[in-house]
Amino acid sequence: GDSVTQMEGPVTLSEEAFLTINCTYTATGYPSLFWYVQYPGEGLQLLLKATKADDKGSNKGFEATYRKETTSFHLEKGSVQVSDSAVYFCALSDGAAGNKLTFGGGTRVLVKP
């Protein structure tokens, strides 16, 4: 079945540092890939998405590129802020498997001033 694996946290960074969160996936079809962010005590917010190979999703300084050859969708941000502290979830939606989202385990990011 489909699965998503992302690096375990917590990831602790200083403000303005570079952030990378690795995400790899397995899927039977041609999935769409997503990054969702969950701030403390809140729901899931869509951060960015990519629907086909080599697509790059970007939002709020975050980027991720859909790499079919390495089945990866790593999240990057060049200069993090304290307000980026949250839990980040990589997820896929596989049309061949009913379009439900399959999530990775989440990565907690803590940015210190």
Which CB, 18 or 30, lies closer to another protein? 30
Specify whether the CB–CB gap between 85 and 109 falls below 8 A: yes
- What distances in angstroms separate CA 31 from CA 25, 49, 85, one per listed residue? 9, 11, 28
Among 25, 35, 36, 66, binds another protein (CB under 8 A): 36
Q: Whole-number minimum distance, CB 85 to another protein, in Å?
A: 16
> Which two three-digit tokens encode residue 41?
């005590």
Q: Is 49 in the site for another protein (CB under 8 A)?
A: yes
Q: Whole-number minimum distance, CB 6 to another protein, in Å?
A: 9
Centroid of chain to Cα 74: 7
CA distance 14 to 16: 6
Contact positions toward another protein, by CB under 8 A?
A: 32, 34, 36, 42-46, 49, 51, 89, 93, 95, 98-106
